[in-house]
Structure 1
Amino acid sequence: MKKRVLLPIFAALMIFAGTDTNTAQAASVSELTAVASKYIGIPYVYGGTTTKGLDCSGYTQLVFKQLGYDLNRTSAAQYKQGTAVSKANLKAGDLVFFNTSGSGVSHVGISLGGSKFIHAGVSTGVTVASLNTSYWSNRYIGAKRVGSFGSGDKVVAAVDNAEVKDSAIDFTVYASRGEVALQLANALGLNTSDKKTVFPDVKTSSKYAGAAKALHDLGIFTGDENGKFNPGSPLTRAQMAKVLVAAYKLEQKQSSLTFSDAPSSHWAHKDIKILASHGITVGLGDGTFGVNQNVKLKDLATFIKRAQQ
């Protein structure tokens, strides 16, 4: 794919008519969503630009770079790029900006269409949030369209029911957070009859309600910064490690097994090391654990079986 450089509007006006500036093939909404969601769970680190930790603009810059676009480094600088878009006309791939500091643009995320956006939150790391919550709606500044994502923005059209699963993820292969909750609650023998709503995106009628409530009460699953459970989102292997350690109250045993992608500086290093010390994981066979890879259903079953043993 040819590199697509984003220019400020005043610079774009200087391009001569007839210059070929649109020869690169546009990435699809599914590609955008897949790239953006694979970083879910990466912790927030001020100034971070790598998978060890990301700040908001470092995250957007990283995602768009993989899609062939160059973004400026800071949220304020990114706000100067692209074309302004009204909130009512947001499409997947638009950058959404917020004033979280009280002094202008200080935070940025990526719209998934409608009210949904994905961002690197200070308290949550990379996660999906909603523009409709009071926190984000009160701090919303505007949006910019810095690229075009083809083949149906309808793929991730505005959906307020978070139980609708991310269409960019094949959930016949990968485990959603809701599925993890069901299987883990069953394996732990938890009473799931209490379906009282503890997460705003899990209704009492949801098949996940009882499991989500039981696991929440044990402190195994907590909500994101907006209190949501996000049952239709995937779970990374690093996140799975943390969940299993909490669920089975595992403690460190003697082990020399280490993984190159989970150094001591990684937020899930301790949990991954604990799993390895119990023989619950041996990694991917190439010296890595696969911290940012989504958990597959077959691996989920293996993880739980070994944890029980």
Structure 2
Amino acid sequence: MKKKILLPIFATFMIFSGVGTGTNTAQASSASELTATASKYIGVPYVYGGTTARGLDCSGFTKLVFSQLGYDLSRTAAAQYKQGKAVSKSDLQPGDLVFFNTSGGVSHVGISLGGNKFIHAGTSTGVTEANITSSYWAKRYVGAKRVASFGESEKVVAAASSIEKEEVKNSAIDFTVYASRGEVAIQLAETLGLDTSDTNSPFTDIKSSSKYAGAATALYKLGIFTGDENGKFNAGSPLTRAQMAKVLVKAFDLKMASDNLKFTDVPASHWAHNDISILASNGITNGKGDGTFGTNDNVMLKHLTAFINRLQ
């Protein structure tokens, strides 16, 4: 089966009926596509009333992700709770909406990644992953709704061979084209000449036997990669161009130079504005040629190589 490249936009070809109070069971989108679409917003800051990649609130995030996959959600957490079919916590599947009482009633929503994991726009963290069983979320959990079914396909098995299976997070992404966090770690460690002999990884999802262990540990010691709130490195996840800017500025200790470029999609309020400006001011990036930087586009391997070559 020919593997399709899903990024940066997954659902341009999908047309579904809107989601009402029932369940949309169309399976043109896989669980991996759902996860990849949601994960590309990791790091976007929380903005009350936010509905774009410049800033998102909890229901703005869920609505944006589902709209990119062809599904229409209501605007607020309380309204989204009235959609779909109720599911038990033990039966959570990727794509199920999980709801919490954080300020009275149904006031917070996230997207299940399966099991106890979910991704959400938190007021203090921005878009990030969390665990339903953590002390904070467990006592605030209200319930879950399934507004769409996301079926898996052969893509999961096909992609798992290129990245260690237990570390794959977004196996629908073609990592022969896009750079995974694990690959970025390996290339950065090599370029920086870091000692990667210590494989006692501080990350809960990287075993000492992992090919990423040495590089991830070395970069952790320098504060370049710190992991998510659950202590995971997520080696099998992609990195957005905005996230890459932050990593490169930290790794190479870059400072602002003169004559920095301005990008139409990087306002001063953007969380990565300073890092992107520093990259541009040092001639590491000229953007995409249309006046944008492509903050939410995932980094391609060829661009990773180009960035690193310019920094050497």
Match of 1:45 in 2: 47
Deviation at 1:222, TM superposition (A): 1.1
How many residues matched?
292
| Cα deviation, residue 291, structure 1 | 0.5
Q: Secondary structure in 1 aligned to 2:196? A: coil
Given the superposition, is the C-alpha separation of residues 68 and 183 from structure 1 closer, same or farther in structure 2, using an over 3 Å criterion? Answer: same
In the alignment, structure 1 residue 255 sits paired with structure 2 residue 259: yes
Aligned equivalents of 1:50, 1:33: Cα separation in 2: 18
Deviation at 1:105, TM superposition (A): 2.8
Q: Deviation of residue 83 (structure 1)?
A: 1.0
Instruction: Classify 1:226/1:123 alpha carbon distance in 2 versus 1 (closer, same or farther; 3 Å).
Output: farther
What is the alpha-carbon root mean square deviation over aligned residues? 2.6
Runs of 5+ in structure 1 lacking a partner? 13-21
- Residues in 2 aligned to 1:256 and 1:150: alpha-carbon distance in whole angstroms: 45
Deviation at 1:151?
A: 5.4
2:308 counterpart SS class: helix
1:4 to 6, 17, 26: 17
> In the alignment, which residue of structure 1 is the partner of 2:4?
none
Q: What are the ranges of 5 or more consecutive residues in structure 2 without an aligned counterpart?
A: 1-13
- 8 A contact 1:91–1:153 mirrored in 2: no
Q: Choose from 170, 179, 183 the match for 1:179.
A: 183
Aligned-partner residue type, residue 203 of structure 2? F
Q: Matched residues in 2 for 1:115 and 1:73: separation?
A: 25
CA–CA separation in structure 2 for the residues paired with 1:261 and 1:90: 36
Q: Secondary structure at the match of 1:69?
A: coil
Select the residue among 61, 66, 73 that pairs with 1:64.
66
Which of 272, 284, 289 is the equivalent residue of 1:285?
A: 289
Structure 1 residues 124-171: Cα deviation after superposition (integer angstroms, max 9, x where no partner) = 322334445454444433210112334559959xx9x75124122111
Asked if residue 205 in structure 1 is aligned to residue 209 in structure 2, the reply is yes
Aligned pairs (5 A) from 1:1-309:
2=15, 4-8=17-21, 26-29=27-30, 30-101=32-103, 103-150=104-151, 152=153, 155=156, 163-308=167-312
Equivalent AA in structure 2 for residue 45 of structure 1: V
Q: CA deviation at 1:244?
A: 0.5
Given the superposition, is the C-alpha separation of residues 94 and 252 from structure 1 closer, same or farther in structure 2, using an over 3 Å criterion? same
Q: Which residue identity lines up with residue 266 of structure 1 in the other structure?
A: H
Q: Which of 241-250 and 131-140 deviates more?
A: 131-140
Decide which moves more: 63-72 or 227-236. 63-72
Amino acid aligned to 2:253: K
Q: CA deviation at 1:6?
A: 2.9
Between the aligned partners of 1:216 and 1:142, the Cα distance in structure 2 is: 36
User: Distance between the aligned counterparts of 1:140 and 1:162, measured in 2?
Assistant: 27
Q: Which stretch of the first structure deviates more once superposed, 38-47 or 183-192?
A: 38-47
User: In the superposition, relative to structure 1, how do residues 273 and 191 fare at CA in structure 2: closer, same or farther (>3 Å)?
Assistant: same
Query: Is residue 163–residue 201 contact of structure 1 (8 Å, CA) maintained in 2?
Result: yes
Q: Is the 8 A contact 1:162 1:230 kept in 2?
A: no
Instruction: Return the offset for 1:271.
Output: 0.7
Q: Distance in 2 between matches of 1:154 and 1:137?
A: 33
Cα distance in 1, alignment partners of residues 209 and 269 from structure 2: 41
Alpha-carbon distance in structure 2 between the residues aligned to 1:132 and 1:256:
45
Equivalent residue letter for 2:82: K
Cα deviation code 1:168-191 (max 9, x no counterpart): 211111111111111111111111
Distance 1:77 1:120 in 2: 17
